[in-house]
Amino acid sequence: MLERKKTKIDPRVDWFEPVRRVLSPMAGVTDRSFRNACRPFGAQLAFCEFTAAKGLIYDSPNTWKLVDTLDEVDPVGVQLFGNEPEALASAARLMRGKRLDILDLNYGCPAKKVVKKCGGSALLADLPLLEEITKAVVQASPVPVSAKIRTGWDEESINYIETGLLLQDAGVCWVTLHGRSRAQKYRGEASWDAIAELVDALDIPVIGNGDVVDGESFSRMCEHTKCHAVMVGRGAIGNPWLFSEMEAADRGQETAKPSLDDILDVVEIHIADVGSLRGEVIGSRIVRKHIARYIRGFDGAAAIRRELYETDTAEEMLSILREMRSK
């Protein structure tokens, strides 16, 4: 296994000690079906879509659907966002009796609709409020709390070391660092140097995030930063095999790229799983964007994608994919 820094693991999350591969919370992506697709390939901890604290405390059915963890066996996390300490603490209390292993605080999302409400990475520009929120949630949560951050609001206000130390003192059990500022969003290269510096600065584990897209980049991040684990987001969409590559790389091995038949086998399972959990029509609409990413790069993928977006049922999708398999 690639070397990592020895850290203090909170005894309440002793299951986290062997974790190396984490699926990031992503809005509109990491529902139960996508987590189910990634698990067999080596995702050891997976997060639900990130969730608005106020939506939970106002008992919004659509918001509660995002916390779709009932009977999930493997480690699963819920991530909250918001900017009011008591609202976030109240949402944390509502997790009592729910199925989750970790409650994460979203201090990293760069999306305008989140930031304009002073949530996500906007809180990196208001550390007193970030600290107040964190302490309130740590006290209220029935499960251990972690946090995800970026390097800072912009290049003129890089503060990930200060933020990380604050979070550690506030009682979080680990910190995930995406190696970009909010201003960068997803542009440019992620700073693995920043992740390495945070690893050195903290006594608790640090999860590295940013620009890991295959086994080789996973190895390079681990070697460069000595982080406890690596979180992947966009790189896993349509590519659950990424986790297999990461697992193999951790052992100094390589894995073969999946064939079209391998991919379509997983797609068919994904379609059936979404349909069983969300219903035929809604499930079909949800899964289309995933299928488009699964088949990206294959001959005729653009035309097939257009056909898929005109379908309304799982059977229509499967028929299109069967034609693709037979060519």
Cβ atoms 202, 177 nearer than 8 A: no
Give 46-97 pLDDT, tens digit per residue. Answer: 999 999 999 999 999 999 999 999 999 999 999 999 999 999 999 999 999 9
> What's the pLDDT at 134?
98
Q: Decide which of 245 and 308 is more confident.
A: 245
pLDDT score at 124: 97
Determine the straight-line distance between the first and last CA of the chain, rounded to whole angstroms. Answer: 41
Distance CA 232, CA 209 (A): 6
How many angstroms separate the CA atoms of 45 and 23, rounded?
6
Mean pLDDT, the chain, rounded, equals: 95
Output the pLDDT for position 323.
Answer: 86
- Rounded Cα–Cα distance for residues 35 and 31 (Å): 6
How far is residue 4's CA from residue 205's CA, in Å, rounded to a whole number?
Answer: 10
**Of 48, 109, 173, 222, catalytic:** 109
Domain with residues 11-250, CATH architecture: Alpha-Beta Barrel (3.20)
Percentage of the chain modeled with pLDDT above 90: 80
Q: Which two tokens stand for residue 280?
A: 């035929």
What global pTM score does this model have? 0.95
For the chain, give every domain's residue range.
Answer: 11-250, 260-326
Token readout for 304 is 């097939």
Per the model's pLDDT, the better-predicted residue between 307 and 202 turns out to be: 202
Predicted confidence band at 155 (pLDDT cuts at 50, 70, 90)?
Answer: very high
Predicted confidence (pLDDT) per residue in 282-305, tens digit: 888 888 889 999 999 888 888 988
Mean pLDDT across 171-197: 97
Is 109 one of the catalytic residues?
yes
Q: Which long-range contacts (CB under 8 A, 24 or more apart) does 324-327 make?
A: 324/260, 324/264, 324/295, 324/298, 324/300, 325/260, 325/261, 325/264, 327/299, 327/300
pLDDT surpassing 80 at residue 327: no
Q: Which of 220, 130, 216, 215 is nearest to 175 (CA)?
A: 130
Residue type, 160: Y
Across residues 203-216, what is the average pLDDT? Answer: 98
pLDDT(266) > 80: yes
Please give the pLDDT value at position 176: 98
Q: With helix as H, strand as E and coil as C, how does 126-185 read?
A: CHHHHHHHHHHHHHHCCCCEEEEEECECCCCCECHHHHHHHHHHHCCCCEEEECCCCCCC
